[in-house]
Structure 1
Amino acid sequence: MSEPSKVVAIIAATPALTALLAMVVAGDSRLKVRQFDSELALIAYMRLARVDVLVCDFDREGRPAYEMVEAIRLNGELLSQEVPVIALTRVITPPMRHQAISAGIDEVLIKPMSPRHLLQRIQARLRTRSVVGVLGGYRGPERRNRITMPAPQPVPARRETDNVIPLFPDRRRQQLPLLDS
């Protein structure tokens, strides 16, 4: 029996870019592509149907992409609350990077890029689960469940009686005066 088609939602900066990306992604017969002109239409669709990957654009008019993704992550009414997200942007700035991580955006691609590269990234996201989905909900910037390390212990200072000969003597030490006997 064949695997059900995966749904890819695309909401880009312009309708032309959305159509171009959708055309290339639709070339994979295992994917169903849904194009959206507004965030409102996307949210309404996500209340009714499941989305397997979301492609959004930081350069859209209106609310920034990271705010839209945060709203999706926090909206309990959506069927695809933990959807993997691939964002597109012209340039990444340090504040944008922090906002994308905080919102739970899985990947950011720099434009201009090949639409086939986007297709490859979508296929890779479908093969590997989203970090957000693996952990059972968004946990903020530290969402990879990293192992806690023990606190570093200070190394005790060496004593003068150690059997260690310094390679370079410390000339800063004060010379002890020689006693005349």
Structure 2
Amino acid sequence: MMPDYDFSQVDAAIIDSQLNTARVFRDVLVRMSFRRIELFDSVKAAAGLLSAGTPDIILVDADGEDTEAFRFIRALRNEPNVPNPFACLIVTTWAPTPALLTRVTNSGGDDLLLKPVSPKQVQDRIATLIEGRKGFVVTADYTGPDRRKSPREGAQVPVLEAPNTLRLKATGQWSQAGVRMLLNEANGFVTAQKRIRASIQIAFLAEFAMPGLSRPVPDRLAVEHVGRIGGFLDDLLRRLTDEGDHAHVEAVARAVKSLAEDIHRQADKGAVSPDDAAELQTMVRALMQATDPERPLEAMTREVTAAVTGYRTRLEQMAQAKAAAAASAAQAASAAAGTPPPSGAPVAASAG
């Protein structure tokens, strides 16, 4: 039986293109005595939730061929001006594929609810969000529930007890002034962490690219990684708030952006200047130190190096798996055609 919560102050939004399904969810919430329940037939129609009147809980349908639902979730969690980026968020679907589950996890949704649903299922999920919601983590491109099985070596990503207005209202702990203070503090934490994690990500991209940039013809993957630096710098720069002195961070960030763009142009034409590549590595470390002056630079550098090493290992494993699959397919095709495998193709070892 569901605990005796009071939902008379709780606001909800339901985003679903199928009106009948939306009405089912609405009827359940009406019986639970929610104060206000808004229905939207598309993510576009619900765009106003990102700028004003963010409800305490949102149910958003993720079916369909496009990715609008996941863009909405990521915007809710990551855009700097959303009134309540910590709103509880349940994704709903008729087709719970592994790919969809991964997208829910990576976008920042709290839970996945499979249709058709019973009133008890909806009530149980809401009760879980009230009593057992996961803490949030903040990275350069993710804000949402902490789903890490174990933190990456050297990573320092604190867990935030995100303000849960659903819980505060349902358990009688709501006060306008108190919640405003909680949201301001949490948003300040997220803003600071976004700057720090963006600088770590920028350093990761630069360090990964270094070996490839040193070749006479720069490696394509290295050039792509340098090209991604600008986007993270833009996000970092827009999170430099009026509170605090961020002049030094801004100056370093703009210098890094200018140099990264110059290196990218050099790579498009041919060789990259070794001096510029070395300067980029020096400057991204200066950016890390500027955004997080309380943490030793050596610790941040070790974190970046560990992340690059792990990423290279995963790329190598993927390449090996792809090559093995291609060889296996070629061998199978040759066997089916009654011809020997191509010269140089590996032959699978027998089990015996």
Deviates more, 1:60-69 or 1:72-81: 60-69
Q: Distance in 1 between matches of 2:7 and 2:31?
A: 17
Shift of 1:147: 5.6
Shift of 1:12: 1.6
Of 123, 126, 129 in structure 1, the residue corresponding to residue 127 of structure 2 is 123
8 A contact 1:11–1:36 mirrored in 2: yes
Shift of 1:8: 1.4
TM-score for both structures, normalised by structure 2? 0.36
The reply to whether residue 6 of structure 1 matches residue 10 of structure 2 is yes
Which whole-Å deviations, capped at 9, do the CAs of 1:59-113 have from their partners, x for residues lacking one?
1575442232112222222212122211111222222221111101111112122
Q: Distance in 2 between matches of 1:41 and 1:127?
A: 31
Compare the two structures and name the one with the higher helix fraction. Answer: 2
Q: Which residue number in structure 1 is paired with residue 171 of structure 2?
A: none
Compare the two structures and name the one with the higher strand fraction. Answer: 1
Q: Distance in 1 between matches of 2:96 and 2:7?
A: 36
Q: Which residue number in structure 2 is paired with residue 143 of structure 1?
A: 146
8 A contact 1:84–1:130 mirrored in 2: no
Q: Which residue number in structure 1 is paired with residue 32 of structure 2?
A: 28
Q: Distance in 1 between matches of 2:20 and 2:7?
A: 31
Shift of 1:22: 0.6
Opposite residue 88 of structure 1, the aligned amino acid is T
8 A contact 1:12–1:60 mirrored in 2: no
SS at match of 2:51: helix
Higher RCO (CA 8 Å, separation ≥ 6 residues):
1
Fraction of identical pairs, as percent: 21
SS at match of 1:39: coil
TM-score for both structures, normalised by structure 1? 0.65
Opposite residue 102 of structure 2, the aligned amino acid is H
- In 2 relative to 1, CA 142–83 (structure 1 residues): closer, same or farther, beyond 3 Å? closer
Max Rg structure: 1
The reply to whether residue 52 of structure 1 matches residue 76 of structure 2 is no
Shift of 1:139: 4.3
Of 81, 87, 95 in structure 2, the residue corresponding to residue 77 of structure 1 is 81
Q: Which residue number in structure 2 is paired with residue 169 of structure 1?
A: none
8 A contact 1:86–1:106 mirrored in 2: yes
SS at match of 1:88: strand
Q: Which residue number in structure 1 is paired with residue 3 of structure 2?
A: none
Which whole-Å deviations, capped at 9, do the CAs of 1:134-168 have from their partners, x for residues lacking one?
x4677469934666599xxxxxxxxxxxxxxxxxx
Q: Distance in 1 between matches of 2:44 and 2:110?
A: 22
Segments of structure 2 that go 5 or more residues without pairing to the other structure are 1-5, 154-352
Shift of 1:31: 4.5
Q: Distance in 2 between matches of 1:45 and 1:79?
A: 9
Shift of 1:46: 3.8
Segments of structure 1 that go 5 or more residues without pairing to the other structure are 151-181
Q: Distance in 1 between matches of 2:97 and 2:38?
A: 29
Of 66, 91, 114 in structure 1, the residue corresponding to residue 118 of structure 2 is 114
Q: Which residue number in structure 1 is paired with residue 23 of structure 2?
A: 19
Shift of 1:24: 1.3
- In 2 relative to 1, CA 144–93 (structure 1 residues): closer, same or farther, beyond 3 Å? closer
8 A contact 1:13–1:59 mirrored in 2: no
**RMSD (Å), alpha carbons:** 3.1
Q: Distance in 2 between matches of 1:56 and 1:78?
A: 17
Opposite residue 131 of structure 2, the aligned amino acid is R
Q: Distance in 2 between matches of 1:147 and 1:62?
A: 32
8 A contact 2:14–2:37 mirrored in 1: yes
Shift of 1:121: 1.2
Q: Distance in 2 between matches of 1:17 and 1:142?
A: 26
